[in-house]
């Protein structure tokens, strides 16, 4: 892709040519997507990530990218790709996705890849292997049409997004700081395919109730009951704050003392970073109301909200305008869950939901609409050509 990156970026996006090329190569798109789906890659099996990552690495290498596998300790690591030849300090844009899915090995036996007219089904098709395919084919389209991206394209594909991005988070945040903008190839929201311009911040917190002496054991369950009510009282639907107590365990035995204690898991979701700070501090500051017990709190809201910042609004308006040129009427929405876009948004302009149009993430009816997903691939290619809001605003070298 050297010759593509060395040219001056297009000032007028040839929307028709891009859309025609993407749709003309539908068969190649579906063939690659099918191979990617059949390369089953559950988050909880690091070794199972290899085949999908290998397919993606080969596809990026064919486009002239230098591809590096960033190893993981408890995950399958991450795939980082950048143009093999580029000028140091060139402003960059990041394409972000993940190859891990929630489906265990062997799911294909019960959920095979099936194409029927405009619908393609398969485990991980919607979330998010069609999005990964769109990354490859958006870049392939620019290569084939001899078009230069406005900013140097970087690609990061992780293998632990579905389990919290606990190993990939430093890579994501670093590249977010170094990039002018980030395009997240997560699936769109709803059957109408809304782009995700906001997401709630999320966190998992654990509260443990321990007796201070043997006589306090009978107070543990009472305190846990009180905590559930106190936590639910922190929820505020109007502000988008949800507090959900999940698994509750009582009468666990502490090995050193032999005393019974209790534990509960709490899911926290907020709309703003300020609420993330307030709710996090409030829960961490909880003290026991029952005598002879203590409350220990672990965890935090570790994925900040993806908010509608001025930078993110600019990127959304660009997408909306480009969609118009492609004959697409785009709308926006807020997602209740988080993605890796939450991790880049505090540092740079981020637009999410640029992957598949369909439904059924984490569900047995998972599917994509082929035509609409190809339209989004054309949109992604067009966005890569669009000028950035600030020219030359990022001078750091990328890794």
CA distance 215 to 217: 6
Q: How far apart are CA 32 and CA 133, in angstroms?
A: 7
Q: Structure tokens of 259?
A: 């005393």
Helices marked H in the chain — which ranges? 2-5, 15-24, 26-38, 50-62, 130-144, 169-178, 220-233, 273-284, 310-325, 341-344, 370-385
Q: Compute the distance between CA of residue 180 and CA of residue 393 in angstroms, rounded to an integer.
A: 7
Percent of the chain scoring above 90 in pLDDT: 84
Position 3 confidence tier, pLDDT thresholds 50, 70, 90: very low
pLDDT digits (tens, 9 = 90+) for 246-298: 999 877 777 677 788 899 999 999 999 999 999 999 999 999 998 899 999 99
Between residues 44 and 256, which one has the greater pLDDT?
44
Q: Which residue matches tokens 């009468």?
A: 251
pLDDT above 70 for 395: no
Its pTM stands at 0.90
For residues 250 and 254, give the distance between their C-alpha atoms in angstroms, rounded to a whole number: 11
Q: Which domains does the chain have, with CATH numbers?
A: 2-199+305-385 (3.40.630.10), 201-303 (3.30.70.360)
Is 80 exceeded by the pLDDT of residue 396? no
CA angle, 383 then 65 then 132, to 5°: 55
Preceding omega of 128 cis (within 30 degrees of 0) = yes
Nearby residues of 85 by Cβ (< 8 Å), 6 or more positions away? 2, 5, 6, 64
Which pLDDT does position 26 carry in this prediction?
A: 98
Q: Count H helices and E strands in the chain, helices first.
A: 11, 16
Task: Report the alpha-carbon distance of residue 93 to residue 296 in Å, rounded.
Answer: 42
Give kind and range of the element (H or E) at residue 83: strand 78-83
pLDDT in the model for residue 298? 96
Q: pLDDT exceeding 70 applies to what percent of the chain? A: 93
Amino acid 14: pLDDT: 82
**For residues 43 and 74, what is the distance between their CA atoms, to the nearest angstrom?**
10
pLDDT digit string, tens, across residues 62-112: 999 999 999 999 999 999 999 998 767 789 999 999 999 999 999 999 999
Query: What's the CA gap between 107 and 122, in Å, rounded?
Result: 9
Residue 381 and residue 136 in contact, taking contact as beta carbons nearer than 8 Å: no
Confidence of residue 13 (pLDDT cuts 50, 70, 90): low
| Number of Cα atoms under 13 Å in the Cβ half of residue 316 | 21
| Cα–Cα dist 186/177, whole Å | 20
Helix, strand, coil shares of the chain as percentages rounded to 5?
40, 25, 35
CA–CA gap between residue 398 and residue 174 (Å, rounded): 9
Q: Average pLDDT of 380-394?
A: 77
**Average pLDDT in the 25-29 region?**
98
Q: Give bridge partners of residue 297 from the DSSP assignment.
A: 207
Question: Which of 21-25, 131-135, 219-223 bottoms out in mean pLDDT, i.e. has the lowest?
Answer: 219-223
Distance CA(320)–CA(305), nearest Å, equals 22
pLDDT band at 393 (very low <50, low <70, confident <90, very high): very low
Q: Residue 387 corresponds to which tokens in the numbers above?
A: 């000028």
Displacement of CA 373 from its chain's centroid (Å)? 17
The pLDDT value recorded for residue 213 is: 86
The dihedral built from the CA positions of residue 390, 392, 397 and 399, taken in this order, carries a sign that is: positive
| Secondary structure class of 352 (helix, strand, coil) | strand
- Contact (CB, 8 A) for 44 and 164: no
* Residue 124 clears pLDDT 70, i.e. is over it: yes
Beta bridge partners of 208: 263, 296
Q: 141-166, pLDDT tens digit by residue?
A: 999 999 999 899 999 999 999 999 99
CA distances from residue 346 to 145, 193, 272, 306, 342 in whole angstroms, order as listed = 34, 25, 11, 8, 8
The rounded distance, in Å, linking the Cα atoms of 288 and 293 is 7
What Å distances lie between residue 376 and 3, 151, 200, 352, 382, CA to CA?
A: 25, 20, 23, 12, 10
Pairing state between β 92-98 and 179-184: parallel
Give the DSSP H or E segment for 209: strand 201-211
Q: 387: Cβ–Cβ under 8 A, 6 or more apart, which residues?
A: 9, 11, 150
pLDDT band at 398 (very low <50, low <70, confident <90, very high): very low
Looking at residue 91, its pLDDT comes to 93
pLDDT at 7 over 60: no
């Amino acid at each position: 892709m050297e010759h593509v990156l060395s040219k001056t970026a297009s000032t007028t996006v040839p929307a028709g040519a891009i859309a025609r090329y993407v749709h003309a190569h539908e068969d190649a798109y579906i063939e690659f997507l099918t191979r990617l789906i059949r390369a089953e890659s559950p988050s909880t099996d690091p070794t199972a990530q290899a085949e999908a990552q290998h397919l993606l690495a080969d596809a990026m290498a064919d486009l002239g990218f230098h591809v590096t596998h960033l190893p993981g300790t408890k995950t399958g690591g991450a795939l980082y790709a950048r143009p093999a030849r580029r000028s140091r300090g060139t402003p960059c844009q990041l394409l972000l996705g993940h190859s891990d899915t929630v489906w265990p090995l062997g799911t294909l036996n019960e959920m095979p890849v099936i194409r029927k007219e405009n619908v393609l089904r398969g485990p991980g098709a919607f979330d998010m292997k069609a999005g990964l395919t769109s990354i490859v084919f958006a870049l392939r389209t620019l290569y084939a049409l001899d078009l230069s991206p406005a900013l140097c394209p970087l690609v990061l594909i992780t293998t632990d997004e579905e389990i919290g991005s606990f190993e990939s988070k430093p890579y994501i945040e670093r590249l977010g700081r170094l990039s002018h903008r980030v395009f997240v190839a997560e699936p769109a929201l709803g059957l109408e395919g809304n782009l995700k311009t906001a997401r709630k911040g999320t966190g998992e917190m654990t509260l443990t109730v321990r007796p201070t002496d043997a006589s306090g054991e009978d107070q543990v369950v009472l305190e846990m009951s009180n905590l559930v009510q106190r936590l639910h009282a922190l929820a505020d639907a109007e502000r988008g704050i949800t507090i959900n107590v999940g698994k509750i365990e009582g009468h666990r035995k502490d090995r050193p003392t032999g005393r019974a204690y209790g534990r509960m898991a709490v899911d926290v979701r907020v709309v703003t970073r300020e609420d993330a700070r307030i709710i996090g501090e409030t829960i961490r500051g909880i003290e026991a109301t029952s005598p002879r017990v203590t409350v220990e709190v672990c965890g935090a809201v570790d994925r900040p909200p993806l908010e509608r910042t001025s930078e993110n609004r600019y990127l959304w308006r660009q997408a909306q305008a480009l969609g118009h040129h492609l004959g697409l009427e785009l709308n926006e929405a807020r997602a209740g869950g988080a993605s890796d876009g939450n991790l880049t948004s505090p540092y740079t302009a981020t637009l999410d939901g640029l992957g598949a149009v369909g439904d059924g993430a984490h569900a047995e009816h998972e599917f994509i609409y082929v035509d609409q997903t190809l339209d989004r691939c054309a949109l992604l290619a067009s966005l890569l050509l669009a000028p950035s809001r600030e020219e030359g605003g990022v001078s750091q070298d990328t890794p």
